[in-house]
Amino acid sequence: MRELKTDILVIGGGPAGLSAAAAAARAGAEVTIAESDLHLGGQLVKQSHKFFGSKEEYAGIRGFEIAKILKDEIAQYGSRVSTMLNTTVSGYYGDEGVVTAMTGEEEYLRIAPKRIVITSGAQERLIPFPNNDIPGVYGAGAVQTLMNVYGVVPGKRVLMIGAGNIGLIVSYQLMQAGVEVVAILEAMPKIGGYWVHAAKVRRLGVPILLRHSIKRALGGDLVTGAEILELDDNFSQVGETETVECDTICLAVGLTPTNELLWQVGCKMKYVPFLCGHVPFRDKEMRTSNEKIWMAGDVSGIEEASAAMIEGRLAGLGAAKSLGLNIEPGGFEKYWSRLNSLRAGEVGEKIRVGVSAVVVDGWADVQ
């Protein structure tokens, strides 16, 4: 079996992973990125909307363009950064300091890195309801992949479940692709995503029904509609069940960190509801309780791509520094200041509270 050696293995080539690779390569590290998809960029490649945030995090630029910018950035380090696409890391063997990975279905290999940065991202949550297994019920990520990666619309009339940023943005993108969005249902009494994202679909006539959810999908071989219901403060049904005609039901009901590898490594973890799942404790350089492993992005807690890119820089710097390399002076302070500024407002409050529960100054007291 082939064994590949590298200074830093970055697991996941999304916004956090590419940023980590860039920061580490800039410091002089040899970096290998293992990406399970067929291309780098992670979720950025599906984002056709312009990003929020500040200029430093590419505000006002469309997500897929940001993926190109990050790819160009790592390309300038030449052979110092190598990329393995279609490669899934399957396990970590701490005694030997080796991870195993699978490239396609052809090759099973060992990678022996000096340091690891885990940027494995997130996976979608789904909600249970009768008939949620019939064709036409999608996660929002799948809808985006179909539309924005492969150019295929999922249907003609979509019912969106969830008015967080993903539900709102994917609704807008569906309309751009010429698909009708019948309604967006949101169980909470207010939208969860940015108000401006909601305003832009409302003014094109899409109703957002607050305190509403789906009761069941209708149809046999395919989705033909949905039963929807109104909720009270205790999330119990009030009023009559209504029927909506649609051929697609899109679930945008949240994400949860893809943390299996961190569990397997044995990183100290904590369940933090505001970060949407079990996340690792980390120091200010994004190092986990394992002294050779860093992490960044959604696996550290569900946030958004701008923050993921900054966390990636921190993790890349941290891993490079631990190898004795010269990192950019003041780098940690600079990136923390940007991160703190992005998180400073009301919408960042849950993140601030969540992160404060898992950032540690030292490891002595962490259970």
Partner 1 sequence: MKASATFESGVLTDERPGAVKPPRDLWEKHKGGLVLVECPQRIPCNPCNTSCPTGAIVPFEDINNVPTINYEKCTGCAMCVAKCPGLACFVVDLTWGEEIALLKLPYEMLPLPQKGSTVKCLGRTGEIVCEGKVENILEPLKDRTKVVHVAIPSDKVGDVRAIEVA
Residues in contact with partner 1 by CB under 8 A are: 49-55, 59-62, 163, 175-176, 178, 183, 186, 189-191, 194-210, 228, 242, 244, 306, 341-348
Residue 236, both tokens: 């119990």
Smallest gap from Cβ 299 to partner 1, in A, equals: 21
CB of 274 to partner 1, least distance (A): 17
Q: Which residue lies nearer to partner 1 by CB, 163 or 265?
A: 163
Would you say 78 or 189 has its CB closer to partner 1?
A: 189
Task: State in angstroms the smallest separation of the CB of 101 from partner 1.
Answer: 36
The alpha carbon of 234 is separated from its chain's Cα centroid by a whole number of angstroms, namely: 30
348: amino acid identity, one letter: G
Cα 356 from chain centroid?
20
What minimum distance in Å lies between the beta carbon of 44 and partner 1? Answer: 14
Query: Chain centroid to CA 261: how far?
Result: 16
As to burial, measured by CB atoms within 10 angstroms (0-12 exposed, 13-18 middle, 19+ buried), residue 151 is: exposed
CA 366, chain centre distance (Å): 26
**Cα–Cα distance, 212 to 216 (Å, whole number):** 13
Residue 242 has what DSSP assignment?
A: E
Q: Rounded to the nearest 5 degrees, what angle is found at the Cα of 24, between the Cα atoms of 18 and 26?
A: 100
Nearer to partner 1, 264 or 341 (CB): 341
| Cβ-based nearer residue to partner 1, 5 or 190 | 190
The CB-of-165 to partner 1 minimum distance in angstroms stands at 10
Q: How far is CA 71 from CA 88, 89, 98, in A?
A: 20, 21, 27
Nearer to partner 1, 76 or 243 (CB): 243
H runs (alpha helix) in 165-270:
165-176, 195-202, 260-265
Minimal distance, residue 88 CB to partner 1, in Å: 33
Taking only Cα atoms into account, the Rg of the chain, rounded to an integer number of angstroms, comes to 21
- Of the pair 163, 296, the CB lying nearest partner 1 is at 163
Q: Helices in 137-292 by DSSP H: which ranges?
A: 140-144, 165-176, 195-202, 260-265
Cβ-based nearer residue to partner 1, 29 or 339: 339
Kindly state the smallest distance separating residue 253's Cβ from partner 1, in Å.
17
